[in-house]
Amino acid sequence: MNHPTPNGAQPRNNYRHPFFERADLEPWQHPPFYEPHLLLEPWQQRQEQGRALRLKTLREAHSHWQPALNRPDPIDLILATNEGRQAHLIPIRMGRMSASPFTFLRGAAAIMAWDLAHTPVSGIQVLVDGDAHLNNFGLYGTPQRTVVFDLDDFDEVTYGPWEWDLKRLAASFNVAGREQGLNQNTRRKAVMACVAGYRANAARLQSLRVLEVWYLHHYPGQTTPVFKPNKKTRKILEKAVKKAQAATNINLLNKLAHRTVGGNWRFCDDPPILKRTDEETAQKVIQGLISYAETLSPERRFMFQRYRVADVAHRVVGVGSVGLQAYLVMLFGNDDNDPLFLQVKEAVSPSFAPYTPPLPPAASHQGRRVVLGQRVLQAASDVLLGWTSIDGTPFYVRQMKNMKGSIPLEWLSGSAFLMYARACGTLLARAHARSGDIAKIAGYCGSSSILDEAIADFAEAYGDQNQKDWEALAKAINEGKIAVEIGI
């Protein structure tokens, strides 16, 4: 049923994101984001508009993967992403990327960004995670202290085609499946489960009230109309939740810090992974917390001002992030039983930046881009999420331990691997629904398995490509062209 249209109101079939406004306008030309007299067209009409986009880009077109003739050397792309990083840590990054084809895929966001930018697109834009591989889904605690399952890494967030996220997620399941020893048929089933979960949830979300979509959270093991975990998967999720619940600030204190003879708390040096900073660097990081506090909402500033800094260290994290500046700040509130650990992590331009329109001024600070993207894509974000600058370099800030956890690949076998694939696809659709037109996406995807089959073809072909690129890195290392540190 169509909604009544107020006098003078005009329907709209697209709406701007709060900070990703039209990139072709100067800042003073931006119209106000909220336009109360413009109506969103009913979801049924927008679904039909999405269906019509199939005439422009067939769903079958997403099956194609063939490296372009002008595809850059993948090793050159990797080395380019090392520029500006801390030189002494780059061998660790290269070592971690060379460990397996899957760790290579994790660290090779820049390579896949180039590749995806040269594939067919539907024409529907959303706020994309930009690095939605399966290890970037995990567990964390909400402000209400319940554990939810959601996207948990947003360093590459930007505005782009929704299928870029889905294709990277699908490729990650293919590559991970290879490492699990799964045959091609089983890998295909996993990818198709992932895409089917995305489609099913898009179809479900398109007709929900807007607020309903924003209220949705996914609790591990929860049964929904589009996701019904089996007994094996439930047990794995229960185990992961218990582990996440133990990931608290107090437990981290006992692992990473010690009390000195003078009674002060200090980080335990464990170079090169964890190393206390010199006093000058520590003071710069601490000064950065002042401007960071201003990015918190007023009520959270009251809470944060009760904490005082005890020590600062540099900590190596992740695969693709190795070499970027990443600090760990230890703070205390009421007493020694009230520790807080904040990660202050350098934010750099997203991998898709060369292939998308420039972001507007509101997202020009890379730390702010990450934070705002996380607040949109996640159902419930960290209460201490914010951003700052240190010596002119952008950073974002978050809690280091906030009941965070992951589901190790080795736990996922057989039906659990397929269920996890469907769960991640389902969650990705919900994340996209918060910024994009999910009715259009649902209309484009349709109710058949055409898109599932197409992206499964793509994922298998891209899995082969990833294997070749990983072997090229291994060869460069064996020939002494790239220095590595293994096992760190």
What are the tens digits of pLDDT across the range 323-343?
Answer: 999 999 999 999 999 999 999
Q: How confident is the model at residue 402 (pLDDT cuts 50, 70, 90)?
A: confident
* Residues 6 or more apart whose Cβ sits within 8 Å of residue 153: 129, 131, 136
Q: What is the pLDDT of residue 104?
A: 98
* Residues 6 or more apart whose Cβ sits within 8 Å of residue 33: 16, 18, 21
Cβ burial of 281 (10 Å; 0-12, 13-18, 19+) is middle
* Residue type, position 475, single letter: K
* Mean pLDDT within 424-436: 96
* Residue type, position 398, single letter: R
Q: Could you read off the pLDDT of 250-283 as tens digits, one per residue?
A: 999 999 999 999 899 999 999 999 999 999 999 9
Closest by Cα among 295, 345, 394, 352 to 127 = 352
- Lowest-confidence region among 31-40, 148-157, 307-316: 31-40
Yes or no: say if 123 and 62 are a contact pair by the CB < 8 Å rule. no
Q: What is the pLDDT of residue 306?
A: 96
Q: Tally the C-alpha atoms within 13 A of residue 408's C-alpha that lie toward its C-beta.
A: 5
pLDDT over 90 at 54, yes or no? yes
Of residues 250 and 9, more confidently modeled: 250
Does this model's pTM top 0.85?
A: yes
pLDDT over 60 at 236, yes or no? yes
Beta bridge partners of 309: 331
Closest by Cα among 307, 382, 299 to 339 = 307
Yes or no: say if 304 and 296 are a contact pair by the CB < 8 Å rule. yes
Measured CA to CA, the distance from residue 166 to residue 425 in angstroms comes to: 7
Closest by Cα among 312, 305, 223 to 276 = 312
Instruction: Report the largest interatomic distance among the alpha carbons of the chain, rounded to a whole angstrom.
Output: 75
Beta bridge partners of 158: 128
pLDDT over 70 at 383, yes or no? yes
Q: What is the pLDDT of residue 303?
A: 95
- Lowest-confidence region among 30-34, 356-360, 373-377, 446-450: 30-34
pLDDT over 70 at 184, yes or no? yes
Closest by Cα among 470, 471, 409, 475 to 105 = 470
Q: What is the pLDDT of residue 111?
A: 98
pLDDT over 90 at 172, yes or no? yes
272 preceded by a cis bond (ω within 30 of 0) = yes
Measured CA to CA, the distance from residue 386 to residue 90 in angstroms comes to: 27
* Mean pLDDT within 33-59: 91
pLDDT over 60 at 4, yes or no? no
Q: How confident is the model at residue 5 (pLDDT cuts 50, 70, 90)?
A: very low
pLDDT over 80 at 16, yes or no? no
Alpha-carbon torsion 124, 128, 131, 134, what sign? negative
Three-class SS state of 389:
strand
Residue entry with tokens 């209400």:
144
Q: What is the pLDDT of residue 33?
A: 65
Q: What is the pLDDT of residue 17?
A: 42
- According to DSSP, the β-strands at 393-399 and 265-267 are unpaired
Q: What is the pLDDT of residue 28?
A: 35
Measured CA to CA, the distance from residue 485 to residue 462 in angstroms comes to: 27
Cβ burial of 87 (10 Å; 0-12, 13-18, 19+) is exposed
Structure-derived torsion over alpha carbons of residues 476, 479, 483, 486, reported in degrees to the nearest 10: 90
Looking at the chain, the whole-number percentage of residues with pLDDT higher than 90 is: 77
* Mean pLDDT within 61-74: 95
Query: Residue 345: which H helix or E strand, with range?
Result: strand 339-346
Q: What is the pLDDT of residue 229?
A: 83
Going through 41-157 in order, the beta strands assigned E by DSSP cover: 125-128, 137-141, 147-151
- Domain ranges in the chain are 56-242+409-478, 249-399
* Residues 6 or more apart whose Cβ sits within 8 Å of residue 198: 166, 425, 426, 428, 429, 445
Yes or no: say if 249 and 339 are a contact pair by the CB < 8 Å rule. yes
Beta bridge partners of 327: 314, 344
Q: What is the pLDDT of residue 2?
A: 41
Q: Could you read off the pLDDT of 346-360 as tens digits, one per residue?
A: 999 999 999 998 888
Q: What is the pLDDT of residue 35?
A: 76
Of residues 412 and 83, more confidently modeled: 83
Enter the tokens of residue 309: 């800094």
Measured CA to CA, the distance from residue 431 to residue 381 in angstroms comes to: 13
